[in-house]
Structure 1
Amino acid sequence: MKKVLVISNMYPSKEHLAYGIFVKNQVEQLEQEGIETLLAVNTNPATGKKTVLLKYLNWAQNFMRIFRANKRNISLTHSHYVFPSGLFSYYLKKRYNIPYIVTAHGGDINKMAKKSGQIRQFTEKILQRADHVIAVGEELATTIETNFHVPNDKISVMSMGIDRTVFKEADNKQHCAVELGMDPKKTNFLFVGNIIREKGVTELVQAFNKVSESIPGQSALYCVGSTKDTNFTSKVKELAKGNVDIHFIEPMPQTELAHYFQAADVFVLPSYIEGLGLVALEAMSCGTPVIASDVGGLHYMLADGAGVLVPPKDEILLQLALENAVKEGIQVNDSRVNELLELHDAKNIIARLKKIYSKYAN
């Protein structure tokens, strides 16, 4: 096999460590397994109409430079996010007959494709013309098959995988908590993700405020994530103002982030939409139980006692789940959790991905 051109509209940089980190992780894992890759990626998370147009123009120019310099050495392309990344793969297949794989991550189908009729049409064309489609969760795969008319045998359900050499249980959770400045006598809740409305951060802070009132001094909340919308983040921090047990922490390298997963007593992911919810698996891999919204891939992941599911956007039921965790703790079905961790182990994911590549590569 020649080289795989990986295309993604999200990819981390030194300034933005968490921006599409799962794509970078997979690229590095592929390289370790002997798959040579080329990158045509956007590392700029800036928003705003003019800024987005400019950054995507720069990305497109970079993509063409990389392609022209390596045209003869590309076996296939792999796009992360159907639109806009998949447009590049679609173009190369139409013009040069280069096969492509596209991974749908959730927001591209559940959010981006609904922004306009034109984007939806592009999304459908990209999915239907792809040699193979990867959906990170079961519900997402069903949506792609049903709403975008993609044959079932052309879709694989496959997460981005978890590196269990990084995300693993600590010998002593309390010791980890102390090292990070947490009070091990409290129930320490952890949220990891962008500080945006769709992640349910507003409901989380409001629910935790009520837990702090009903059971004072017994818990703390740590929110690790980057600011994508300054106004929204300011509003969330205003809601948290006065509660000394709520802490906002900037993104960090995954080796450091793993310590927060290890130290926390409960991981909380109250998203409105979620293709899979890889961070929930990372928490579980560190031995930390999960409370999450009953949406998307989380619905399947946390079924059968693997975690606690609550309705999205429901502050009251989220509060009750948090209070119950403080009072009673969370018991999980260990065999189901172990089954999930094995299924989503990065080594197994990469083995499956290599088989797909070999099937379609020129």
Structure 2
Amino acid sequence: MYPSASHPSYGIFVKNQVEALKRAGIHVDIAVNDNPAVGKKNVIIKYAKWAMRAMQLGRKGKKAYDVTHAHYVFPSGMLSLALKKMFGIPYIVTAHGGDIERMAKKSARIRNWTAQILTEADHVIAVGPVLAEQIEQDFGIAKQNISVLSMGVNRNVFTAGDKQAVRKQLRILDNKFVFLFVGNVIQQKGVEELVAAYKRVKKQTTKDIELVIVGSRRDMSFISNIQSQVDATVRFEDPVQQTQLVKWFQAADVFVLPSHLEGFGLVALEALASGTPVIASNVGGLVSLLGDGAGKLVPAKNSEALSEEMLRALHTPRDQYVDEEAVQAALTLHDEVTITEHVIDLYDAASKGGEQR
């Protein structure tokens, strides 16, 4: 996945890492899929173009490239595996969660490919500790061959701002309490539970509240169902560039991420960096990110528990609701600069046959 002008949020976390590596002095060429279109014909065409680009680059061999880095185990890792076998270029693969939780379970063939990609990788990166443990246990990958590294947050982009000023730009009244969701508007992101929880909150408060949902709305049958359940206080916005997205975080009072599964939950980290309290599901990488007090965790697929926490956030002063020390610890651990340094160390080790500097 990689963003484009038409789809600015599609795989933006991969582009962010590419740009961070370039700023650190690493030469990076990319073979990417920037087209989220579905349907058999679209999929065949875009994957064929993607594979051709990877093979064109790979022909330059080890004289040109020290390592390839695949994001998502399957199918991306298949290209890195092929380049290693054909041209001897070592590779690192980052597992993001859906590739292990969903893709590998689609068929025995895909699971076998996933296992081969992980086994033959020079190193595996998991974006969260739960995912790393799953890779170790389910695919027999040695613990020392797995690193837990999130994609990191650029704290020059995601930073606290002038709430009143950004609200004026985004047409949000100063007196409103705003709950924010950012992500694909799909079932797996817990949007149904979020809407149900928000409706409960509305019934139990006299405060003026609003729910803003920012994200791609490709599943129109799901969207129609959601829109039929909400009133005018629920606002839908299209995906935006990150320089605009940070304004939504800055304008919101609370960010809510009720995912059913989440390899890491980078948007929650971006919200924290923007000074916005976070409520999220107690799943995947969100547990390690928020579990030490940086945010509030609730059971997944439980709209009642979610509404109770949203009400607590609504009626609790911010300085009592947020553990600033825990937030700063999370931001320091997942700072993009620190993450990039670790990734470069892994590249060095892979290109030298395992001798990490």
TM-score range, shorter chain: over 0.9
After the TM superposition, which residues 1-362 of structure 1 pair with which residues of structure 2 at under 5 Å, given as runs? 10-68=1-59, 72-170=63-161, 172-240=162-230, 243-329=231-317, 331-361=321-351
- Deviation of 1:69 after TM superposition, in Å, equals 5.6
Which amino acid in 1 is paired with 2:182?
Answer: V
User: Counterpart amino acid of 2:169?
Assistant: E
Which letter does structure 1 place at the counterpart of 2:235?
H
SS of residue matched to 1:156: strand
Distance 1:43 1:252 in 2: 15
One-letter amino acid matched to 2:306: L
Aligned-pair CA distance for 1:317: 1.1
Q: Alignment identity in percent?
A: 49
Mapped to 2, the partners of 1:70 and 1:178 lie a distance apart of: 53
Distance 1:351 1:71 in 2: 22
Q: Secondary structure at the match of 2:288?
A: helix
Q: 5+ residue gaps in structure 2?
A: 353-357
Q: TM-score, normalised by structure 1?
A: 0.93
Give aligned pairs, total. Answer: 350
Residue in 2 that maps onto 1:3: none
Does the CA-based 8 Å contact 1:45-1:228 persist in structure 2? Answer: no
* 1:108-132 CA-partner distances (Å, limit 9, x unpaired): 1111111111111111110010000
Q: RMSD between aligned alpha carbons?
A: 1.5
Quote how far apart the aligned CAs of 1:59 are: 1.6
The more displaced of 126-135 and 52-61 is 52-61
Q: Is the 8 A contact 2:61 2:88 kept in 1?
A: no
Task: Quote the Cα distance in structure 1 between the aligned partners of 2:239 and 2:78.
Answer: 30
Question: Which letter maps to 2:239?
Answer: P
1:225 deviation in Å?
A: 0.2
Per-residue CA distance 1:96-116 (angstroms, 9 max, x = gap): 221000000111111111111
Q: Structure 1 residue 217: deviation in Å?
A: 4.9
TM-score by length of 2: 0.94
Whole-Å separation in 1 of the counterparts to 2:329 and 2:288: 13
